[in-house]
Structure 1
Amino acid sequence: MMTDANSADRIPIKLTTVPLNGMVNTSVPLAKGLLYDIHQSQLMTNGQAIDCGAKVLATWPDKSIKWLHLSFSAPSSDDGELTLTLDKKAQANSISRLSGLQYESNDTQTSVTAAHYTFSLNHENGQFSIASPASENCTGSSVTGELGLRDAREQECAISSCSVSCITTPNLLDESIFALSLQVMVNYSSADNASESGVSARFEFHFDSAQSDIRLDITLHNSKAAVHTGGSWDLGDENSFQFSEFSLSLQGPEDLQTESSLSYRLERNGPWQTPTDLPMSIFQHSSGGTNWQSPVHVDHQQKIPFDVKGYIVEQRGKQVFSGERAAPQISWVNGINIAVADFWQKFPSAMTISPQTICLGLFPKQDNKHYELQGGEKSTHSIWFGVKHDPNGAYFCTDSNYTKPHISQYAKADMPLYTEFQQASGELQSLINNGLHSQRNFFEKREMLDEYGWRNFGDIYADHETAEHQDDSIFVSHYNNQYDPIYGFLRQFILSNDQQWFTLADDLAKHVMDIDIYHTKDDKDEYNGGLFWHTDHYLQAFTSSHRSYSKHQAKGAYQDHAGGGGPGGQHCYTSGLTLYYLMTGNQRAKEAVLTLTNWITYVYEGGNTCLELLLALKNRHVPGLKNHFNGQYPLDRGTANYINALLDSYVLTSDHTLLHRVEHIIQHTIHPNEDITLRNLENIEETWFYTVFLQSVVRYLDIKRANSELNHEFYYARDSLMHFAHWMHDHEYMYLDKPDILEYPNDTWTAQDLRKAHVLSAAYYYGNKTNKAFLNKAKYFEQEVATRLTLSDTKTYTRIMVLLMQNDGPTRYFEHLALEQTFATVNPNWAKPKGERYSAVGQIVTAFCKRLLALSISNEVNWLKKRLG
């Protein structure tokens, strides 16, 4: 059935800024118990059922649909908004106005047939062909495509294995195939000895019956672990993959007269041109921006590997034109159109046109130059093929436009959005708006650092690290998603509907998924799958790329400076990627969240070896690490990140064991009756992040409340929150009111004060709104943050902006949110913490006995090998 007994048979969906007669891709959050089976529903507009692809992205614990992704061709709308309904399907099957996709597959080949093309894929080598049918004014034709990878010696890398899988999306109207994704995994062997190279390519074809365009996403991956000698992660690592070319070659029919059947243009809305002399190439050497020679682009020798500004067009090796930023499109072979997304942004890029052949250089061949893909690094490029005899066909699809539901519908989501009562004209919102509208907005910061090129594009300039920089030279520092700007950007998009916020989130999410996550299984388990830190504080990145630590960096830059290391739990942010998946359906984002959750779980829980437990015994008093003998977790942001990762995975999977793990962590970190004075919270530099932990506890309470699970575990966490909130009310102040106790008393501390408002306003709500003092203190912190930052010269610094985006909203949310039930009074007599019930010796003996019972010699040897290199 479609709904439960308490729900209507009609679910309204209001969308904003719908493209005129364009393709709509959107995700709708639904309330629990509203819809269980998409196959018994249909999408309606103006009283008519329409063709619509529907994919369930997440479900509630009762198996009803939580997030539903919809794809359809938008009917025209005069006011830019569109109201649709999900209705219970009529008994009689409707007849689809689309022909749908036909899909056939066997052991050797897969074919996809649509109205505008026929596609086939060879399973042995990943070669594919696209054939367009004949039309009234155009004869049919076909193009074949093949990926090519050449190593540093320009030898072709052979394919050692190829596997194919398929995911289909049904049409709600008639259950035909509305959309289809075809994933091909190719592993390469080394060119010299035919051994496995650790290098693979994943390419995904995306087909949609409502449009004639095919999107191809190609990801190159080096799965080897970096060596990272001495904890430094510099370019030039011996396990990096050095190569000379990675390209997609497209072959036309043998009888093709290329000059007469091909046209191109260099930028969107530019004039179409016909090449007069082949071969011809369009080569984007650099960004073409003011700072195109920024040191952000240095290679392992600390040299900038290019000397041409922008792009060059050549015919037969002679330059005929040059410019700054190309976004080329080719119309070829009787109606097949080709566009590469982010052509100039992900330079170097090239299109080379020869008789019968077009080569798309994702990493184009250059004389005496190599590319380096670091161990555990990926790079993704997207290509669009338009097949409808329209030279403008493929190009609009390279934009990152997104249609979203009306803001009111996000109240049904179980993500911590806090958008219901947001003030568009509030002081904090005005500060956040600087991210788009000030002279140091996020797009301008890209230009300041020249944050472009295949490895850099999408990341944010960490300009706050330039505060101590003394001259006018460019200071290179990458942000690597600290405090989750992906989440902040998407939340701002939901609030404002400004596509620029979505563009920032889209670009950053794709960067993080490829570059910032360590995609290997061959390193230490506490590194594998982890998120790399931002560039080390106050230091140039040099050749560390986006991996924090370089051998060229000075030591002792600040208090407790590590000077080396790897991914760590204090830097793990998953909520933005979770929201990105739920809004876009991008499967890679979901995979990234689950990967990061597995990684941070290992960081805190470890494996099951005795050698590891010996190391834990040595480090049991080290701040930031779990004590594996009394079970206690540190009260810090790392444990908070761990909880948030588990909660994000729970949002995606509804796996209740994840909630149980969160409850275990909370109960082994804080206690409702503990002596808070023993926490030494007056030592701000060492303990400030306890507020981050309490924010994660609030998120846990929000999820339990949404599930109507007000049980023992809920009240343990709630009473712990109330206990700390009372201490905060009596002792907390604005950090910069006591600047002398801070190593660097800057306005980052002011932005961090906003966390206190979150915790205190939540305590006001979960205390049944009886203690107005909590709310008043929350408002005090919020107002002080807004007032002080408004007057600050550093208010547009990246870290400050991201902290505001991450932490704005909860105060008004908890002030105005109605109490749907009355919470129990605080219990003053909770049982003694479990870690204090046994002696230290007893805890150690018990832990080792458990490990010995599960002893595996192979696991012990493997653990040791990874630490000995």
Structure 2
Amino acid sequence: MMTYANSADRIPINLTNTPLDGMVKMSVPLAKGLLYDIHQSQLMANGQAIDCGAKVLATWPDKSVKWLHLTFTAPSSDDGKSDDDELTLTLEKKADANLISGLSGFHYESNNSQTAVSNSHYTFTLNHENGQFSITPSANENCDANPITGELTLLDASEQKCAISCCSVSSITTPNLLDASIFTLSLQVMVNYKPAQNDSKSGISSRFEFHFDSAQSDIQLDITLHNSKAAVHTGGSWDLGDPNSFQFSEFSLSLHSSEDLQGTSSLSYQLDKNAHWQTPQELPTSIFQHSSGGKNWQSPVHLDHQQKIPFDVKGYIVEQQGKQIFSGERAAPQISWVNGLNIAVADFWQKFPSAITIYPQTICLGLFPKQNNKQYELQGGEKSTHSICFGVKNAPNGAYFFTDGNYAKPHISQYAHTDIPLYTEFQQVNGELQSLINNGLHSQRNFFEKREMLDEYGWRNFGDIYADHETAEHQDDSIFVSHYNNQYDPIYGFLRQFILSNDQQWFTLADDLAKHVMDIDIYHTKDDKDEYNGGLFWHTDHYLQAFTSSHRSYSKHQGKGAYQDHAGGGGPGGQHCYTSGLTLYYLLTGNQRAKEAVLTLTNWITYVYEGGNTCFELLLALKNRHVPGLKNHFNGQYPLDRGTANYINALLDSYVLTSDDTLLRRVEHIIQHTVHPNEDITLRNLENIEETWFYTVFLQSVVRYLDIKRANNELNQEFYYARDCLMHFAHWMHNHEYMYLDKPDILEYPNDTWTAQDLRKAHVLSAAYYYANKTDNALLEKAKYFEHEVATRLALSDTKTYTRIMVLLMQNDGPTHYYEYLPLEQTFATVNPNWAKPKGESNSVIGQVFTAFCKRLLALSISNEVNWLKKRLG
């Protein structure tokens, strides 16, 4: 683990992409043991302590700070900037003298009935009973301030207002390092709605979070609508129109003022950031985004449960008193209202349909705007989040600050101080693989252009990636709908590219996808089978149109037998679980929902492999004990595949976030019950590529475990067991592995996805070279061979820009160079050729089954048995 040359009393932070005279939000990874108490620290710029909000996102096992999120205003001069456009700040021990904050007062009070927040720009009040709120801008010289009151409205399918059954409020504060005052404040409001029938469960709730910043005059509001019911998914299909979907006609935020602005110049709007401001001549005036306005705005990606596209207007329309006065393609409107209050909805056109309607005393923000004879469908376990900004200070574009997407970050060298695998220290900026990855932004089929190809827009689609590789067998020019979801973790890949390149576009792709995955692709319910609850949905089924399955893999309209072993139905499964990107996203942004998502997915995949504690479940496990991909609950063995690798990675990601040592113990148990350092690898049948290729994914997870143990300086028996397993398989790989497409006849679909997968072999072999004390050069040379061949062959391929190939390159690039040049900080022990046989290997099958059932009977719970049956018998 690298340490700073400076003393622990002074930690330099070099920033890139820092906006001058603007708010900076960024995360800094710190070396272990460098900082323990942030309250004894202060942020220095140009030799002066500055106001800075600080939040610890993760700590090392010794409780020192691992990731620190900072919020501050960038210095107003260039004095602190170097020639290479970097800004150097320092985190130092707090001076003894009392410091006075340069911020205006930020006051916060809360009791059982309401919460009040105020500063020099506004006073905000929240009613705890119903979640209604008010914003009163500070009075100016010309007039008294008038309060703006806001409330959410949810109308069901019959256009009846959904009543609130309960409302709860919680808060999170972030201190100012300068004087321990409150720097940022978040208020979270949870609202549950009453069911239409009192004897049934509604399952519908909304969560809205207000974010306040003492250094800014703006308020951000994130609103999430959630259907917590489980989908019925008859026959393993997950189509729109499911009986447990929530049908509704409107979800909107209404803002009211006591001042009538009809015919005044105090009310104006602009249709995008660069458009001129307009004063509505007549009210009501509405801006309605009906569709994306793109070239493929009527793409079948937008099919509803009736297989119809539910809109017929391209782009947006502006109406006054019901008469159209203007139309266009893509609106990003901002409203300027009383006392200079500016209002904007993030991703207004991207998450269509959206609307803003201006009345004399009310502005209605239609997150799901009311339409004649049209309804919306929120599927079981699905969420939808919208963000709104209130720019309280009277300033041009005052509500656009949070929609611009600028994100500051430390210099790349500082990312060496983290235990999430980034491999950035020795990255080749102009490497062969990097030039291929750059196609993701700069080719004609870059990721942004792929959005346009599929029209991957709308509240349910925006942020996802077009799985264009699935179109390879598509015969005509029609649009083939296939959603990629997060397979092979493009969130991680995008963020890693952002760290390497400083290009904001990579962060934008990651940000959009992370928010989509957290809302749409994770199954947010507790009412389905436990092996589904909280799981990650698959990408669209291979080689088949999505039809009405949307982002949920399997549709009743899809055919059967599309490919080898095609099942045509099912639900979330351990073979598709990716958490590292969400972990890194949380560590870079401090987005709490991302951390919640990682822990949720870890709990889910744990159940997938470990199960519950019922006897009925064990009976099913007895039946399926020979099914590939499932854990054998009787001999304790895990499958050697990517699902087990995903399980290990999820546990390691949760460990990165929590430093909970029990998670490492669980990883060690899994490794020891999957592979053995002295096993006969020929029995694994690794020559059967289609059935066993993913053993390399498992070995990659073992490498990650070794890296974390090495960083913790825990070179114990468990470490060496895993290391020796790695060496055993790496030597077999050196002698037997080849480029997959060198033997295309044994592959069902011999395409360049296999070439991209070959990059995993380079990762495993280069790591084995390092953990063999960098003495076995043959391993490194074989790793370089695979890396070079992947780059050379893909450079000549017509399919090199396919999504899956691009994501595999982003996920697996970097380790070869990293392990070649990473210094050996300690000498590892030689390989032990005589590891003991696995425990229980000599036990008979009957003995294993008898022991397993005895354990379950000792913990028997009739209610658990009944509940397990209910969830499977409907």
Specify if TM > 0.5. yes
Partner SS, residue 406 of structure 2 = coil
Matches within 5 A, 1:10-409: 10-76=10-76, 77=78, 80-137=85-142, 139-193=144-198, 195-257=200-262, 259-409=264-414
Q: Partners of 2:470 and 2:218 in 1: how far apart?
A: 43
Letter in 2 for 1:154: E
Residues 791-823 of structure 1, C-alpha deviations (whole Å, 9 max, x = no match): 000000000000000000000000000000000
Partner SS, residue 628 of structure 2 = coil
Asked if 1:790 corresponds to 2:757, the answer is: no
Partner SS, residue 18 of structure 2 = coil
Which region of structure 1 is more displaced relative to structure 2, 832-841 or 637-646?
832-841
Letter in 2 for 1:33: G
CA drift of 1:138 comes to 5.1
Which of 689, 713, 731 is the matching residue for 1:726?
Answer: 731
CA drift of 1:6 comes to 9.5
Matches within 5 A, 1:831-850: 831-850=836-855
Does the CA contact (< 8 Å) of 1:55 and 1:70 recur in 2? yes
Structure 2, unpaired ranges of 5+: none
Residues 802-859 of structure 1, C-alpha deviations (whole Å, 9 max, x = no match): 0000000000000000000000000000000124131111111000000000000000
Q: Sequence identity of aligned pairs in percent?
A: 87
Does the CA contact (< 8 Å) of 2:614 and 2:864 recur in 1? yes
CA drift of 1:398 comes to 1.2
Which region of structure 1 is more displaced relative to structure 2, 235-244 or 72-81?
72-81
CA drift of 1:93 comes to 2.0
Partner SS, residue 170 of structure 2 = strand
Letter in 1 for 2:431: G
CA drift of 1:99 comes to 2.6
Q: Partners of 1:128 and 1:138 in 2: how far apart?
A: 22
Letter in 1 for 2:472: A
Partner SS, residue 145 of structure 1 = strand
Structure 1, unpaired ranges of 5+: none
Q: What does residue 591 of structure 2 align with? A: 586
Q: What does residue 461 of structure 1 align with? A: 466
Q: 1:319 to 1:257 in 2, by over 3 A?
A: closer
Q: Partners of 1:631 and 1:755 in 2: how far apart?
A: 27
Asked if 1:682 corresponds to 2:679, the answer is: no
Q: Partners of 1:254 and 1:729 in 2: how far apart?
A: 77
Matches within 5 A, 1:526-541: 526-541=531-546
CA drift of 1:256 comes to 4.5
CA drift of 1:5 comes to 13
Q: Partners of 1:580 and 1:427 in 2: how far apart?
A: 27
Q: What does residue 507 of structure 1 align with? A: 512
Residues 233-262 of structure 1, C-alpha deviations (whole Å, 9 max, x = no match): 000000000000000000012455563320
Asked if 1:549 corresponds to 2:554, the answer is: yes
Which region of structure 1 is more displaced relative to structure 2, 39-48 or 398-407?
398-407
Residues 294-320 of structure 1, C-alpha deviations (whole Å, 9 max, x = no match): 000000000000000000000000000
**Which 4+ residue blocks in structure 1 deviate beyond 6 angstroms?**
3-6
Residues 58-105 of structure 1, C-alpha deviations (whole Å, 9 max, x = no match): 000000000000000001335542100000001122110113421111
Letter in 2 for 1:458: G
Q: What does residue 646 of structure 2 align with? A: 641
Partner SS, residue 275 of structure 2 = coil
Q: What does residue 804 of structure 1 align with? A: 809
- Give the total of aligned pairs: 867
Letter in 2 for 1:153: S
C-alpha RMSD of the superposition: 1.2
Q: Partners of 1:810 and 1:138 in 2: how far apart?
A: 63
Letter in 2 for 1:56: V
Q: What does residue 637 of structure 2 align with? A: 632
Partner SS, residue 402 of structure 2 = helix
Which region of structure 1 is more displaced relative to structure 2, 189-198 or 240-249?
189-198
Does the CA contact (< 8 Å) of 2:583 and 2:657 recur in 1? yes
CA drift of 1:136 comes to 3.1
CA drift of 1:43 comes to 0.0
Q: What does residue 442 of structure 2 align with? A: 437
Does the CA contact (< 8 Å) of 2:116 and 2:123 recur in 1? yes
Q: 1:409 to 1:35 in 2, by over 3 A?
A: same
CA drift of 1:188 comes to 0.4
Letter in 1 for 2:797: S
Q: What does residue 431 of structure 2 align with? A: 426
Which of 736, 745, 749 is the matching residue for 1:744?
Answer: 749
Does the CA contact (< 8 Å) of 1:156 and 1:191 recur in 2? no
Does the CA contact (< 8 Å) of 1:189 and 1:195 recur in 2? no
CA drift of 1:396 comes to 2.4
Q: What does residue 653 of structure 1 align with? A: 658
Q: Partners of 2:397 and 2:215 in 1: how far apart?
A: 17
CA drift of 1:115 comes to 1.9
Letter in 1 for 2:55: K
Partner SS, residue 531 of structure 1 = coil
TM-score by length of 2: 0.98
Does the CA contact (< 8 Å) of 1:572 and 1:641 recur in 2? yes
Does the CA contact (< 8 Å) of 2:263 and 2:281 recur in 1? no
CA drift of 1:196 comes to 3.8
CA drift of 1:8 comes to 2.8
CA drift of 1:751 comes to 0.1
Q: Partners of 1:280 and 1:6 in 2: how far apart?
A: 60
Letter in 2 for 1:104: E
CA drift of 1:428 comes to 0.2
Letter in 2 for 1:32: K
Q: Partners of 1:765 and 1:5 in 2: how far apart?
A: 25
TM-score by length of 1: 0.99
Partner SS, residue 581 of structure 1 = helix
Q: Partners of 2:290 and 2:190 in 1: how far apart?
A: 29
Which region of structure 1 is more displaced relative to structure 2, 175-184 or 383-392?
383-392
Residues 580-625 of structure 1, C-alpha deviations (whole Å, 9 max, x = no match): 0000000000000000000000000000000000000000000000
Letter in 1 for 2:108: Y
